[in-house]
Each structure stands twice: as structure tokens, then as C-alpha cells.
């Protein structure tokens, strides 16, 4: 994917990643340097995170983790496998698990791709004469014509799509006291719908859970916002009549403050899980390098991506292919299959009840 030229401004900005919405562009947006001249060295780490990660002592692992990694020297396994990661989780050798996710965990739930010709949502949006799909997330276009964005919002109304086994795997990690934080690029709200508490979530590109007047910044009640959206009416502020915009990050807008406040999670983590993301959007992508070098990184993904592709570490574990199948394999290795089935059945029953 190459950098695209913005239509009206004449400036160059990286075009949005392929696939679904979660990787919404931000003012930090740039491609990861794939080993090119001038790319940060492995020793230096991501520059914007250097103040967080610098000078910390190596993570101390429990005896359970040491049995997997070895005590040092040549006794350490040269390459970890998925079953090794499962053992670390199962034995609670790792208890500060940080998770990073993107588009690939939502597509199995049926969340549509608004960029793909042939999809119902794509066809529906074409009636608004959008110059290019990413325009939906540009403030200038939004103020000129907010209807396409709110058509998209209507498609993502809570309850239209349901969490899948991947979301519920994170829920199990939380219930077992192992989840330090879940960082998501997704704006579909399925992490919340799976029962993961807001305190454990970092929605890097915002969410539809709250909304604010784009003019006077007055917070808007969610029920009022959705009442308008569902009848194809542009939500208006009761104070100044400005457009009420969900707290989704658009081009040129800063990331949520909560994202910036919690990046300290990464140097504290003792296991990093990365699922369903292209790791192409900054600063999200750089977070995968913010864990200490002694910390295992497990990638469950369709493709080998980001720093795990061009600057791998000795304790990286890569499970390529379908994300759901990869998660199911990990759940099986953990011995959590029955628990997972019970959780999904219980939560599905709750969601069915809400739909009645």
C-alpha cells in the first residue's frame, strides 16, 4: 500500500489500511519503517516511547516461566511454540497480559467492510457520492456532508453484531485475573459487548459509547444520539444546534487521553498477544516493541506483520492463518474449551434476551 495524496489539501498522508474500520487514521498516522535507512534501531526502540521504556530492569519471571525459557545461557529454548505460551498462561507464570487487536478479530462476527465493492454497506454509502472511502473520517468532509458517517454509525448500532470466540477468550483472561489491558483499534464495541470492563479497555480510535457536540463540546446522552441516528436524522446539540459527533478519532484529531496515559502497561507486561491487525498505523504499531525484550510476543494473524516481520525477537511466537482457529487452538492447549463453551452459551442467552 502506498501513500495517497489527499484530494483537497494537496498534502501527502498515508492512506487508510485495507479492510475494516478499526484502523481509523489519526494525526500520528505514518507507516512503520520496514528496516529502511533511518529506521529506529532495536536497541533504541520506538522514539516516542523511549521515556517510558528506558532504564527499566528486565522482567523477572516466576519459576514456571523459567522452566519454559531456561535459566540463561544455552539452556534457553531457541524458539518458543504456541504450547509454550499456553503453558505460561495456564500455570500463571505470566499474569500481566497485554493484548493488541485490530480488524481481523471483528470480521468473523460479520462486521462489514465499507471499502469492499460488492458489500451491502459499500453500495449503500455510494449514494452519498463519497470521493474516496477514507473521506468519511475527515472532519472537513464530515462537516460538509455528515450523512455517510451516520449511515456507517447506524450499521454499527450496538446489537447488530455479536462477539465471537476471540472476544470471549479475552473475557476469560480477565476473569482469571491475567488481563492487564486490552488495546483495540476497533470501533465496533464488541470488546465491551463481550463483558470486558471499561477499566481494562483502551479504545485507541475511540468508540460510539459517548458523543460530543463538534462545535461547543457539550457531551450528548447516548440514547439521544442513537435515537436520531436510527431514524436517519443528523444528531444536533440542544445547546448550540451543532452536529453531535461520536467520540471516534478522525483524521487530524488527537488520540484519546486514556490511550496516552496507559502506555506504561507495555513495559510492565510479561506477555503480549497481538491478533487481527496489520500493525501499520502509528503510534499503535510501535507499542508492539514497547514490551521488554525478555517478554514473549504471540502473533495470531493472517499475515506476518510489523516489527514481528522485519525485526523479530527470539521469544516471538507466530501462529499464522485464521484468527478464530488460532484462538481456538490456544484455548484447547490451555484446557479452557469447556469453560469457553459455557461462557459463550451463557452470554449468547443474555444477548438473545436483550433482543426480544
Binding residues: 213, 216, 237, 240
**Residues 6 or more apart whose Cβ sits within 8 Å of residue 59:** 270, 292, 294, 295
CA gap 193, 196 in Å, rounded:
7
Residues tagged in the binding site annotation for Zn(2+)? 213, 216, 237, 240
Query: Which of 144, 167, 174, 205 is an active site residue?
Result: 205
Please give the helix or strand (H or E) that residue 82 lies within, else none.
helix 82-90
325 carries an active-site annotation:
no
Find how far residue 141's CA is from the centre of its chain.
25
Reference 278, options 49, 125, 107, 27; nearest CA is: 107
Cell of residue 287, nine digits: 507499542
Asked whether 213 and 240 are in contact (CB, 8 A), the reply is yes
CA atoms within a 13 Å half-sphere pointing along the CA-CB vector of 10: 0
User: Considering only CA atoms, which of 24, 89, 49 is closest in space to residue 266?
Assistant: 49
- Asked if 4 and 14 touch (Cβ cutoff 8 Å), the reply is yes
Q: Which residues are CB-neighbours of 223 under 8 A, at least 6 positions away?
A: none
Measured distance CA(67)–CA(134) in Å, rounded: 48
Q: Transcribe 198-238 into DSSP letters.
A: GGGEEETTEEEEEEEETTT--EE-HHHHHHHHTTT---B-T
Query: Which cell goes with 163?
Result: 462477539
Tell me the CA end-to-end span of the chain in Å, nearest whole number. Answer: 44
Give which of 306, 266, 314, 316 is closest to 282, Cα–Cα: 306
Grid cell in block for residue 235: 444528531
Active-site residue numbers? 205
Amino acid at each position: 500500500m502506498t501513500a495517497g495524496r489527499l484530494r483537497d489539501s494537496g498534502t501527502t498522508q498515508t492512506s487508510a489500511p485495507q479492510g475494516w474500520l478499526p484502523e481509523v487514521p489519526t494525526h500520528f498516522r505514518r507507516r512503520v519503517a520496514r528496516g529502511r535507512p533511518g529506521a529506529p534501531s532495536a536497541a533504541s526502540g520506538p522514539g516516542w516511547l523511549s521515556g517510558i521504556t528506558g532504564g527499566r530492569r528486565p522482567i523477572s519471571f516466576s519459576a514456571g516461566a523459567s522452566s519454559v525459557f531456561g535459566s540463561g545461557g544455552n539452556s534457553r529454548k531457541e524458539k518458543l511454540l504456541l504450547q509454550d505460551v499456553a503453558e505460561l498462561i495456564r500455570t500463571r507464570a505470566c499474569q500481566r497480559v497485554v493484548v493488541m487487536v485490530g480488524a481481523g478479530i471483528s470480521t468473523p462476527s460479520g462486521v462489514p467492510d465499507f471499502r469492499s465493492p460488492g458489500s451491502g454497506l459499500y453500495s449503500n454509502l455510494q449514494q452519498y457520492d463519497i470521493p474516496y472511502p477514507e473521506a468519511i473520517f475527515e472532519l472537513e468532509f464530515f462537516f460538509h456532508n455528515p450523512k455517510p458517517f451516520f449511515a456507517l454509525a447506524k450499521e454499527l448500532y450496538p446489537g447488530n453484531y455479536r462477539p465471537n470466540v476471540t472476544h470471549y477468550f479475552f473475557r476469560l483472561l480477565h476473569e482469571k485475573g491475567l488481563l492487564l489491558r486490552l488495546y483495540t483499534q476497533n470501533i465496533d464495541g464488541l470488546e465491551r459487548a463481550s463483558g470486558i470492563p471499561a477499566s481494562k479497555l483502551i479504545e485507541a480510535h475511540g468508540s460510539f459509547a459517548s458523543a460530543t457536540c463538534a462545535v461547543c463540546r457539550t457531551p450528548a446522552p447516548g440514547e439521544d444520539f442513537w435515537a436520531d441516528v436510527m431514524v436517519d436524522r443528523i444528531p444536533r446539540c440542544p445547546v448550540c444546534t451543532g452536529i453531535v459527533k461520536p467520540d471516534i478519532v478522525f483524521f487530524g484529531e488527537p488520540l484519546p487521553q486514556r490511550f496516552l496515559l496507559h502506555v506504561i502497561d507495555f513495559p510492565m507486561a510479561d506477555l503480549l498477544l497481538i491478533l487481527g491487525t496489520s500493525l501499520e498505523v502509528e503510534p499503535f504499531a510501535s507499542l508492539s516493541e514497547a514490551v521488554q525484550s525478555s517478554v514473549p510476543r504471540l502473533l495470531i494473524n493472517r499475515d506476518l506483520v510489523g516489527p514481528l516481520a522485519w525485526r523479530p525477537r527470539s521469544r516471538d511466537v507466530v501462529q499464522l492463518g485464521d484468527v478464530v482457529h488460532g484462538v481456538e487452538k490456544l484455548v484447547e492447549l490451555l484446557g479452557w474449551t469447556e469453560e469457553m463453551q459455557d461462557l459463550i452459551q451463557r452470554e449468547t442467552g443474555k444477548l438473545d434476551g436483550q433482543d426480544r
